[in-house]
Amino acid sequence: MLENLFFILGIVNNLFLTIIFLVRNKIAILQRIGWIYFLLAIPAAYGIFLVIKENKEVQYSMFLGIFLAFLVIEGLYDYILKINFRKNWKLLIPYLILYYAMSYGFVVMVWKTSLIGGIIMLTLVIIQIIVNIITHPRANRRRVPSE
């Protein structure tokens, strides 16, 4: 059951982040739907309970813990403190480490039990990262040649 929960949680996480990246420039939409992403903490916490109940490897708990830590930092920075952490490297680095560790964890832990599931998850992570790069505000700035 834990493997299925992990796979579904990973798919929903990747799809939701891809949608968030696609609408990131439409602030009104993002403010209306962005908070829903944090509801993924519920199945993640339940997953940690299942790890203990089913005596599964500790790696599941570690990656779910990383995912929960990412959700906490995201919520703290964007929704509670409302700070522009993306321009402060001291705040951005831990955020990015958790973001990439979370993405890695969803791919690796699914891949471990299902090659097809792992390939699906890897594909979704790659799509998510590409959409993130393409829609990132800095990527959309055009360089003006100096005269």
DSSP 83-128: --GGG-HHHHHHHHHHHHHHHHHHHHHHHHH-HHHHHHHHHHHHHH
What span, in angstroms and rounded, lies between the C-alpha atoms of 147 and 144?
9
In a domain, residue 143? The reply is no
pLDDT at 51: 93
pLDDT at 44: 96
Profile the chain (147 residues) by mean pLDDT over runs of 10 residues.
Answer: 91 95 84 88 95 90 96 92 89 94 94 94 96 79 50
Domain that holds residue 87: 2-136
In a domain, residue 99? The reply is yes
In a domain, residue 23? The reply is yes
The secondary structure element, H or E, covering residue 52 is helix 41-53
In a domain, residue 131? The reply is yes
pLDDT at 72: 96
pLDDT at 144: 47
In a domain, residue 65? The reply is yes
> What is the domain count for the chain?
1
pLDDT at 33: 82
pLDDT at 30: 80
In a domain, residue 147? The reply is no
